[in-house]
């Protein structure tokens, strides 16, 4: 019998519905050109699908996301199902429905990490980016309840032109609420965010200043900070920020985060609309076979053709290029808008 | 929040891996470290110790994505194979071996996460454990005060966050006797009219196999048969 594919994590999109309308949203179905997400209808029981997939892979970590996962009333049951299979469960939520009671229930059910947005230390900025009054109060209350229940949380700061100046004090706020780390994610256009690139996309100089702030905060506040959205080395040399975690697109590698929706469709990541196959109709190993992923993995912009770090960086987030410009090989917006700042990459080892 | 057997063994593994990484002491360029005595415990046990000693190799390899993953997988497989040998020879109980494997896997993944370039959705730099020291808590309390003054946070939320910090500070500030007195008071309060099970009947977070696994690992790494 062939070995089961090993996944570091599996992402499950529990619903496309959301009670926020974040201007930076990357979900491809929130793109202005996409058909309205509408009502998913009565939610299907995803446990048979999860069992079907998890039986075929070697995986011990599942990330639940959406849309907004807390719109599903059966979320605790799903978490308990995963915990019973010895899975670590990461829950990505906007936090608006995370009441004290729900937090207690979810921690008891087996959520090991909550991932919540914290976009500013100003209520009006956070609420405006989420397009949801009360979002700031809700997320801070949720963080306090998680802390009280001895749960674990990381805060996500999406760096846009509108909030990037707030980073330092927002990191302090996150630390004050006892988060275990911060994800400093540059705004990555896609979905609804694709319609707001001019308004939201930070410049290279703004992003560099934010990284300097974050680098200092890791030491002053003892706060682990990572940058999950790729930053092209030709734009910013991340070696200058040794205490920040960072990474590049993992699609097709053993670090890939394949994304599953409730219908069983599997995608290379949750930013792209590209469907590799359906888990109900094909073995998972065939869906993620290298040949199936080849075009996605190989896609890099012509601009990067001579770069020595092309295979590592891959030009940034190709899914963003795909959603914003309709082509996986296009320059994704952060590169496209800042390419004048690009510096040549010297050959040699880069660690 | 309940600490599970898995979390307990993971913490044991990470702690042991960290001690190995630090070589249990601070060295500098000018103070050469004493080499760790190479006490052989027999070929099979030495094979089990080797993956632990190779964690520093993993730390280096992890900076290269593919190489790091290969080393991670190899070390975990080598550790499992060494355990299987010891189980087959009757020197280890299978349940103890499983817990030892869990500890090593956690240690290796911890080392890998700390050194590997990260991706979305596995928040890699955040360890699976968290110990708030008094200084951590004091800093949090200070920042909470500062941010409460500068940001219009809901006062009820500030109070809840403050209460959680104060609770943790209070507990950390207690002496061993005070902590025991608190535990005794809780036991007494709950116990009035209650029917306590014996210790052996309790579903403890650290079952005997886990304690044995932790003891065996410490002995192995200290070279104490």
pLDDT tens-digit map of A316-338: 999 999 999 999 999 999 999 99
Query: How close A58 comes to chain B (CA, Å)?
Result: 13
CA pair distance A110, B7, nearest whole angstrom: 12
B146 touches chain A (CB under 8 A): yes
Residue A256 pLDDT > 50: yes
Which residue, among B151, B156, B165, would best test binding to A if mutated, counting the most A CBs under 10 Å from its CB?
Answer: B151
**Predicted local confidence at residue B123, as pLDDT:** 46
Residue A347 pLDDT > 90: no
pLDDT tens-digit map of B137-194: 888 889 999 999 988 899 999 999 988 888 877 776 666 677 666 666 656 655 555 4
Average pLDDT estimate for B19-33: 50
CA pair distance B40, B122, nearest whole angstrom: 38
A172 touches chain B (CB under 8 A): yes
Q: Which one of A16-30, B50-64, B191-205 scores highest in mean pLDDT?
A: A16-30
CA atoms lying within 13 Å on the CB side of residue B180: 3
Q: Is the ipTM of this complex over 0.90?
A: no
Q: What is the DSSP string of A55-88?
A: TTSEE-EEEEESS-GGG-TTHHHHHHHHHHTT-E
- Range scoring the smallest mean pLDDT among A147-161, A228-242, B6-20, B70-84: B6-20
A86, B6 Cβ separation under 8 angstroms: yes
Pick from B126, B215, B133: nearest CA to B172: B133
Max Cα distance, chain B (Å) = 65
**Predicted local confidence at residue A251, as pLDDT:** 86
Residue A53 pLDDT level (bands cut at 50, 70, 90): very high
**Interface contact flag, B124 A112, Cβ < 8 Å:** no
| Residue A1 or B196, more confident | A1
A246 touches chain B (CB under 8 A): yes
Q: Which residues of A touch B136 (CB under 8 A)?
A: 222
Residue B219 pLDDT > 90: no
Find, in chain A, the residue whose alpha carbon is nearest to that of B158. A144
Q: What is the DSSP string of A244-305?
A: EEE----TTSTT-EEEEETT-EEESSSS-----EETTTS-HHHHT-HHHHHHHHH---GGGT
Give how far Cα A338 sits from Cα of A62, A193, A236, A342, B108, Å. Answer: 35, 18, 11, 7, 39
Q: Which residues of B touch A242 (CB under 8 A)?
A: none
Q: How far is Cα of residue A114 from the mean position of the Cα atoms in its chain?
A: 13
**Predicted local confidence at residue B131, as pLDDT:** 43
Quote the mean pLDDT of chain A. Answer: 92
**Interface contact flag, B164 A247, Cβ < 8 Å:** no
pLDDT tens-digit map of A210-238: 999 999 998 888 888 889 899 999 999 98
Residue B122 pLDDT > 70: no
A160, A198 Cβ separation under 8 angstroms: no
Quote the mean pLDDT of chain B. Answer: 73
**Predicted local confidence at residue A39, as pLDDT:** 57
pLDDT tens-digit map of A171-184: 999 999 999 889 99
Residue A301 pLDDT level (bands cut at 50, 70, 90): very high
A34 touches chain B (CB under 8 A): no
Give how far Cα A242 sits from Cα of A216, A218, A331, B114, Å. Answer: 10, 10, 27, 12
CA end-to-end distance (rounded Å), chain A: 38
**Predicted local confidence at residue B24, as pLDDT:** 44
- Range scoring the smallest mean pLDDT among B53-67, B160-174, B190-204: B190-204
Find, in chain A, the residue whose alpha carbon is nearest to that of B73. A6
Q: Which residues contact B218 (CB under 8 A, 6 or more apart)?
A: B16
CA pair distance A274, A268, nearest whole angstrom: 7
Q: Which residues of B touch A152 (CB under 8 A)?
A: 126, 130
């Amino acid at each position: 019998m062939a070995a089961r594919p090993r996944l570091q994590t599996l992402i499950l999109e529990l619903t496309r519905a959301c009670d926020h309308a974040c201007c930076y949203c990357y979900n491809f179905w929130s793109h202005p050109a996409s058909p309205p997400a509408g009502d998913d209808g009565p939610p299907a029981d995803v446990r048979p699908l999860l069992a079907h997939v998890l039986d075929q892979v070697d995986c011990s970590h599942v990330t639940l996301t959406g849309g907004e996962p807390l719109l599903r009333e059966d979320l605790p049951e799903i978490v308990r199902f995963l915990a019973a299979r010895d899975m670590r469960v990461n829950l990505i939520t906007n936090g608006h429905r995370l009441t004290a009671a729900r937090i207690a229930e979810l921690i008891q059910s087996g959520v090991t990490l909550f991932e919540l947005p914290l976009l500013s230390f100003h209520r009006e900025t956070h609420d405006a980016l989420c397009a949801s009054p009360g979002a700031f109060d809700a997320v801070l209350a949720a963080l306090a309840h998680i802390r009280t229940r001895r749960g674990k949380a990381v805060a996500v700061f999406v760096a846009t032109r509108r909030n990037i100046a707030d980073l330092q004090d927002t990191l302090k706020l996150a630390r004050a609420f006892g988060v275990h780390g911060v994800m400093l994610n540059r705004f990555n256009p896609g979905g609804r965010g694709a319609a707001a690139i001019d308004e939201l996309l930070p410049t290279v100089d703004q992003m560099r200043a934010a990284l300097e702030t974050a680098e200092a905060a890791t030491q002053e506040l003892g706060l682990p900070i990572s940058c999950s959205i790729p930053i092209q080395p030709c734009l910013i040399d991340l070696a200058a920020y040794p205490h920040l975690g960072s990474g590049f697109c993992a699609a097709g590698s053993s670090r890939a985060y394949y994304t599953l929706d409730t219908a069983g469709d599997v995608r290379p990541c949750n930013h792209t609309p590209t469907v590799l196959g359906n888990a109900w109709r094909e073995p998972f190993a065939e869906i993620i076979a290298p040949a199936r992923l080849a075009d996605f993995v190989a896609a890099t912009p012509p601009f990067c053709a001579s770069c020595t770090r092309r295979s590592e960086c891959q030009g940034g987030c190709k899914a963003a290029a795909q959603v914003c410009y309709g082509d996986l090989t296009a320059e994704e917006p952060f590169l496209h808008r800042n390419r004048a700042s690009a510096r040549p990459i010297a050959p040699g080892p880069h660690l | 929040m309940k600490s599970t057997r898995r979390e307990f063994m993971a913490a044991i593994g990470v702690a042991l891996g960290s001690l190995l990484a630090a070589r249990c002491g601070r060295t500098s360029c000018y103070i050469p470290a004493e080499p760790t005595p190479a006490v052989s415990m027999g070929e099979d046990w030495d094979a089990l110790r080797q993956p632990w000693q190779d964690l520093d190799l993993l730390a280096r390899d992890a900076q290269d994505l593919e190489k790091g993953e290969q080393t991670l997988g190899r070390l975990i497989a080598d550790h499992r194979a060494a355990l299987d040998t010891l189980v087959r020879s009757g020197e280890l109980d299978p349940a103890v071996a499983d817990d030892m494997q869990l500890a090593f896997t956690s240690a290796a993944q911890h080392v890998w996460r700390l050194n590997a370039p990260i991706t979305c959705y596995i928040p890699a730099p955040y360890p699976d454990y968290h110990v708030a020291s008094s200084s951590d808590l004091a800093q949090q309390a200070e920042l909470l005060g500062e941010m409460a003054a500068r940001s219009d946070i809901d006062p009820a939320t500030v109070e809840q966050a403050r209460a959680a910090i104060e609770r943790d500070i209070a507990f950390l500030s207690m002496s061993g006797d005070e902590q025991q007195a608190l535990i005794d008071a809780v036991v007494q309060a709950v116990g009035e009219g209650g029917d306590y099970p014996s210790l052996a009947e309790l579903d403890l977070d650290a079952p005997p196999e886990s304690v044995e696994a932790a003891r065996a690992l410490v002995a192995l790494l200290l070279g104490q048969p």
